[in-house]
Amino acid sequence: MYVSDCLGVNEKGHLTVSGCDTVDLAKEYGTPVIVYSEDQIRQNCRDFVSSIDENYGGNGMVLYASKAFCCKKMCRICKEEGMGLDVVSGGELYTAIDAGFPTEKIYFHGNNKTVAELVYAVEHGVGRVVVDNIFELERLDKIAHDLGKKVKILLRIKPGIDAHTHDFIRTGQIDSKFGFALETGEAMDAVVKAISFTNIELVGLHCHIGSQIFDIDPFELAAKVMLEFMADIKQDKGIEFKELNLGGGFGIKYLKTDAPRPFTEYMKKVACVVKETCKALNLDMPFVLIEPGRSIVGAAAVTLYTVGAVKKIPDVRTYVSVDGGMTDNPRYILYQSKYEILCANKANEERSETVTVAGKCCESGDLVQEWAPLQKVEPGDILAVLSTGAYNYSMASNYNRVPRPPVVMVKDSKPELAIRGESFSDMVKNDL
Ligand code: LLP
């Protein structure tokens, strides 16, 4: 019935997350609040891990892309589930280290890592630095030299794939700020340069073609293109890389009508392409990595708000205002992202109205959703926006000095605070 297995409705007609009554959670923790099903997150992690084991015979690893939702609790879950981690900033790296995440299983991404970030990463022995550009390659070689270390790296390659998704989240094509282009010869030049450095060990390649992708074909194509490039390198330079990181990007269900293919199907099909291409090109099977973010956490959370003002503008529309908005979910204002919304305390009632759910910021564009079906609501009702687990909290802001909401995780029907909500005093804590 819903976009995620962890959702249900109890005998009171209230929406539940992993069996926990969301109306009770709203009372206990206040609103807005983001509620995750830890059970669902762990199940997703396990499904990915067993899928990579099955399809690559254990010769691979799942890295959780922590940009989707990063906090110490999430890092601990990934550690316990035997996964690695993709981090993209000093802050994400710090969170992982602070949570006790094994640094050798951390892959450090980013198109403009600072000297301080690279030094921090090298000092803590991160598993791989995924190098984005020549400037970074030179910078990293020097840093490694100064610290007396040899750093294992991957090169980020743009395989020239045009995955059909929102423009802002497409990254595999030539006009992208990320990585080295294949078509122009830039990628081969980077390989030549990387192997000439003595403080760096180039162990493989990485690509990521975009996010919220439903088709499997672009992933298959990307794997093929990357392996063909590896074969070219083997032929021209006599080097055979051991690692291939195929990135993340698997689409999830935001609307009931969304029909993403199960990622197990993706894993199977891509693994087939990898095996066949390796055979055809006479390459050894590389160690394969994937980096799911959204598909681990996206559909595993809901955001709960309290309805405030309901403004009916005759012949125009009805605005239902809530106590959060673009500060905890900027995805509508950024990408016009679609969400299912329902009244958590009237979850069994029909969604008979069509409304615009508005946030509380001083910004006309601060909308959570327009023209959304919703039950007839009144002030004090609890609204639930579904599938808000990825790129919501992690992209939250303090615009209008609105404190970030708390994050709760439900495991075995028991809620536990994972991130405290911010207070007004947090809003001024860095002010001088
Ligand atoms: N690996 C790399 C190198 C990435 O850049 C990303 C996402 C991922 C993995 C994880 O992709 P996922 O499995 O989550 O699709 N803020 C946007 C999404 C930006 C994605 C950035 N990179 C949104 O809210 O839709």
On whether the CB atoms of residues 326 and 242 are closer than 8 A, the answer is no
135/32 same-domain check: no
285/308 same-domain check: no
Assess whether the previous peptide bond of 262 is cis (omega < 30° from 0): no
Tens-level pLDDT at each residue, the chain (432 residues): 578 899 999 999 999 999 999 999 999 999 999 999 999 999 999 999 999 999 999 999 999 999 999 999 999 999 999 999 999 999 999 999 999 999 999 999 999 999 999 999 999 999 999 999 999 999 999 999 999 999 999 999 999 887 665 554 555 667 788 899 998 999 999 999 999 999 999 999 999 999 999 999 999 999 999 999 999 999 999 999 999 999 999 999 999 999 998 889 999 999 999 999 999 999 999 999 999 999 999 999 999 999 999 999 999 999 999 999 999 999 999 999 999 999 999 999 999 999 999 999 999 999 999 999 999 999 999 999 999 999 999 999 999 999 999 999 999 999 999 999 999 999 999 999
In a domain, 101, yes or no: no
Active-site residue, from 78, 272, 361, 362:
362
In a domain, 194, yes or no: yes
288/313 same-domain check: no
**CATH number, position 366:** 2.40.37.10
Closest Cα to atom 5 of ligand 1: 208
In a domain, 416, yes or no: yes
In a domain, 58, yes or no: no
Q: Give 209 Cα–ligand 1 centroid separation in angstroms.
A: 9
pLDDT of residue 3: 84
Give the structural domain span for 13.
7-37+298-428
287/302 same-domain check: no
In a domain, 54, yes or no: no
- Which of 242, 257, 292 terminates a domain? The answer is 292
pLDDT of residue 171: 57
342/268 same-domain check: no
In a domain, 323, yes or no: yes
- Which of 276, 292, 308 terminates a domain? The answer is 292
Atom number of ligand 1 nearest to Cα 331: 24
Closest Cα to atom 15 of ligand 1: 249
Atom number of ligand 1 nearest to Cα 206: 3
**CATH number, position 187:** 3.20.20.10
For the full predicted model, state whether its pTM sits above 0.75: yes
- Which of 292, 313, 330 terminates a domain? The answer is 292
Q: Which of 306, 410, 415, 299 is nearest to 2 (CA)?
A: 299
Closest Cα to atom 8 of ligand 1: 248
Three-state secondary structure string covering the chain: CCCCCCEEECCCCCEEECCEEHHHHHHHHCCCEEEEEHHHHHHHHHHHHHHHHHHHCCCEEEEEEHHHCCCHHHHHHHHHCCCEEEECCHHHHHHHHHCCCCHHHEEECCCCCCHHHHHHHHHCCCCEEEECCHHHHHHHHHHHHHCCCCEEEEEEEECCCCCCCCHHHECCCCCCCCCEECCCCHHHHHHHHHHHCCCEEEEEEECCCECCECCCHHHHHHHHHHHHHHHHHHHHHCCCCCEEECCCCECCCCCCCCCCCCHHHHHHHHHHHHHHHHHHHCCCCCEEEECCCHHHHHHHEEEEEEEEEEEEECCCEEEEEECCCCCCCCHHHHHCCCCCEEEHHHCCCCCCEEEEEECCCCCCCCEEEEEEEECCCCCCCEEEEECCCCCCHHHCCCHHHCCCCCEEEEECCEEEEEECCCCHHHHCCCCC
249/358 same-domain check: no
In a domain, 88, yes or no: no
285/305 same-domain check: no
Q: Give 68 Cα–ligand 1 centroid separation in angstroms.
A: 7
Atom number of ligand 1 nearest to Cα 390: 24
Q: Give 289 Cα–ligand 1 centroid separation in angstroms.
A: 15
Atom number of ligand 1 nearest to Cα 213: 15
Closest Cα to atom 16 of ligand 1: 391
Atom number of ligand 1 nearest to Cα 109: 3
- In testing the pocket of ligand 1, which one of 61, 211, 395 has its CB within 8 Å of the most ligand atoms? 211
Residue 6 appears among annotated catalytic residues: no
219/151 same-domain check: yes
222/326 same-domain check: no
Q: Give 148 Cα–ligand 1 centroid separation in angstroms.
A: 33
237/170 same-domain check: yes
Q: Give 429 Cα–ligand 1 centroid separation in angstroms.
A: 31
Q: Give 169 Cα–ligand 1 centroid separation in angstroms.
A: 7
190/205 same-domain check: yes
281/383 same-domain check: no
Q: Give 213 Cα–ligand 1 centroid separation in angstroms.
A: 10
pLDDT of residue 175: 76
In a domain, 264, yes or no: yes
Q: Give 349 Cα–ligand 1 centroid separation in angstroms.
A: 35
Residue 367's contacts (CB-CB under 8 Å, 6 or more residues apart) are 325, 326, 332, 333, 356, 357, 358, 359
* Pocket (CB within 6 angstroms of ligand 1): 65, 67-68, 86, 109, 169, 208, 211-212, 247-250, 291-295, 331, 390-391
Q: How far is CA 378 from CA 115, 309, 310, in A?
A: 53, 8, 7
- In testing the pocket of ligand 1, which one of 86, 291, 337, 393 has its CB within 8 Å of the most ligand atoms? 291
- In testing the pocket of ligand 1, which one of 155, 212, 266, 294 has its CB within 8 Å of the most ligand atoms? 294
User: Structurally, how many domains does the chain consist of?
Assistant: 2
Closest Cα to atom 19 of ligand 1: 169
